[in-house]
Structures are given as structure tokens and as C-alpha cells.
Amino acid sequence: MKILVIQTAFIGDVVLATPVIEKLHKHFPDARIDFLLRKGNESLFTGHPFLHNVLIWDKKTNKTSNLIKLIKQIRSTKYDMVINLHRFASSGLITFLSGAKERIGFDKNPFSFCYTKKIKHVIGNGKHEAERNLELIASYTDKEFIKPRLYPSPADFDDVKKYKISPYICIAPSSVWFTKQFPAHKWVEFLNKIATCKVYLLGSGSDADLCDRIIHTSSYKNIENLAGKLSFLQSAALMKDAVMNYSNDSAPLHIASSVNAPVTAVFCSTIPAFGFGPLSDKSFIVEIKEKLYCRPCGLHGYKACPQKHFKCAEMISPDQLIETLESQASSAPNP
């Protein structure tokens, strides 16, 4: 049996697709499972034990011609089942033209009319996105919930071992969307309240300047900027043994969940009820305590606060973050 799973969205969405891979392997252990991703996300699955092949779609250069080549490749593989987690037209077209007997996806996709099975995708009904993804295959497997999972290699753990000589926390301060991002000066306020703990700032290479600004502004100096210096799986290996990991409503919180690392998720303009909260055993959510008439202002966030005050972030106290650190630090073993 040949199965193709499609999720060509961003990093966090891809991590939240991993329960589907776990469940498919559990119920079809002899199946060939492939995963189609956008270029840049493939390193999440280096050495993954359950994937036969990772297909890559380069959307940034020659997008259309790459799409045509990809569809030809998929058709030639003759998949028995294509499961599309992506809700936009391009992936729907791939599913439509795949030639697979079973074509499964969400009803929101413009090409859902061609699916042999489609599931309603409802945000705000109390379900996590990982649960919504698993609903696509529930009739072929079971209804048991499985958490996201990534597989850092022994080499990944060895590469970050040098950072684990004393208790530490990780902070991923950036986000693609401004209104999802806890402001830099608020991270500084939090850092200035930390007693004694090594701090590592994580992110991509493009986040390095932001991390440097936070370090230079803060009076707390036991901080190291690792933005752009670690792969996704190395970051996961580092996060796994942290006393606490801090993230916005963005990919790093899902990476933490994928290795069951303790995590505090800071929600600014978005809300946990959308279904993108943390799933680790030790999970905390920090958000404004008061109700705002304008929150949530959208599902994905904006490049600027539509109301020009950004109270959903500015009114979060750094003490709320300190509380989660103190709660976890008292029970966490030394790495």
C-alpha cells in the first residue's frame, strides 16, 4: 500500500501533521508512507523512521513548473491513498490529479468536490488542530488521539550536549506575524526578573538581530544567541531537556510538544481556542487576563495591531512567565 500525506503550509502546520504519520504507521505498518512538504521544511524529517520518501515543492522559484513536475511524479508513483491536510487550492489540485483511488481532505479546500472522503474543518469548537488532522483518517484507523512527534537523532543530541552543562531555559522570541509576537521589550522585562538560569535564544538566521537586541537591552547577561545556529531537530533536542521553553503562538511551541518538552506558550492577538496550543505533558498558556473587545483580531495575526494599541501583548505581565518557570524549576531534574 502506498500513501501520500500532503501539508505544504508552514513549519508549525507540518509538525501538527505528524500524528497522522504516527497513526498510519501504527495501523498500516507495511505501507509505504511519503510526505509532501514545501521546500525548507524537509529537514524536520531527516532520518524519520516511518517515512519512505519526503517530496519537496519549491514554491519560491518556478512555482508552476515545479508543481507540474511534482504532479507527474506523484501520478507515476500510483499512490493508493492521498491524504491532504492543506486547505488551499494548490494542494487540492495535486490531490485531484494524483490518480489515487482514495483522496481524502478537508471540506474547505476548493478542490474538495473531487475527494472520495472529506471532513469538515471547524476552528473554535474546542478541538486541537492535531485532532482535526486525525479526523481525516479516523474511519481507516481509530479515534485515539496521538501527539505530534519528531525524531532528533543521537547525533542531534550530541551536537547540543555542550549547551546542557547547567539548568537552562530556551526562548524563541520571534514570529512571522507581529501581532503574534510578544514584544522584545517584554522579553527583556522577563529576563530581568530571572534569578539564576542559563538562557538560550532560538530561531532562524533572520531572527538573530532580534535576539541580539534582546541580549544587549537586558541587564541579565547569562544569555546566548543560538538563532540560525541549530537545525530544527537540534533545536528540538535542546528544548527536550530545558527547565522551560518559551514561545509565541508559532512553530517552536509545536516543536517543543513534538518531544514532550515543557513549554509556555504566549498568546497575544490569537487565542488557544483556535486549536493551536501546546500539547506537552508540562504545558502552560500565558495570555492577557482581561477581556479585550478586539481579541482575537484574526486567526493568523497581522503585521501591525489593527487598533494601534497592542494591549493583548502589552498588558501581559512578565510575572506570568516567571510563575511558569518557578512552577517547573522546582520539579525539573538537572540535564
Q: Mean pLDDT in the chain?
A: 95
- pLDDT digits 0-9 by tens, 125-171: 889 999 999 999 999 999 999 999 999 999 999 999 999 999 999 99
3-state secondary structure the chain: CEEEEECCCCHHHHHCCHHHHHHHHHHCCCCEEEEEEECCCHHHHCCCCCCCEEEEECCCCCHHHHHHHHHHHHHHHCCCEEEECCCCHHHHHHHHCCCCCEEEEECCCCCHHHCCEEECCCCCCCCCHHHHHHHCCCCCCCCCCCCCCCCCCHHHHHHHHHHCCCCEEEEECCCCCHHHCCCHHHHHHHHCCCCCCEEEECCCHHHHHHHHHHHHHCCCCCEEECCCCCCHHHHHHHHHCCCEEEEECCHHHHHHHHCCCCEEEECCCCCHHHCCCCCCCCEEEECCCCCCCCCCCCCCCCCCCCCCCCHHHHCCCHHHHHHHHHHHHCCCCCC
pLDDT more than 90, % of the chain:
92
pLDDT tops 70 at residue 330: no
pLDDT of residue 299: 87
pLDDT of residue 60: 87
pLDDT of residue 196: 82
- pLDDT digits 0-9 by tens, 15-53: 999 999 999 999 999 999 999 999 999 999 999 999 999
pLDDT more than 70, % of the chain:
98
Per-residue pLDDT band for 326 (boundaries 50, 70, 90) equals confident
pLDDT of residue 166: 94
Residues 186-193, mean pLDDT to the nearest whole number: 96
The boundaries of every CATH 3.40.50.2000 domain in the chain are 2-135, 158-329
Q: 2-135, what's its fold?
A: Rossmann fold (3.40.50)
Residues 279-299, mean pLDDT to the nearest whole number: 95
Domain 158-329 belongs to what architecture?
3-Layer(aba) Sandwich (3.40)
pLDDT of residue 335: 46
pLDDT tops 60 at residue 332: no
Selected residue with higher pLDDT from 196 and 211: 211
- pLDDT digits 0-9 by tens, 62-77: 989 999 999 999 999 9
Residues 255-272, mean pLDDT to the nearest whole number: 97
- pLDDT digits 0-9 by tens, 109-129: 999 999 999 999 999 888 999
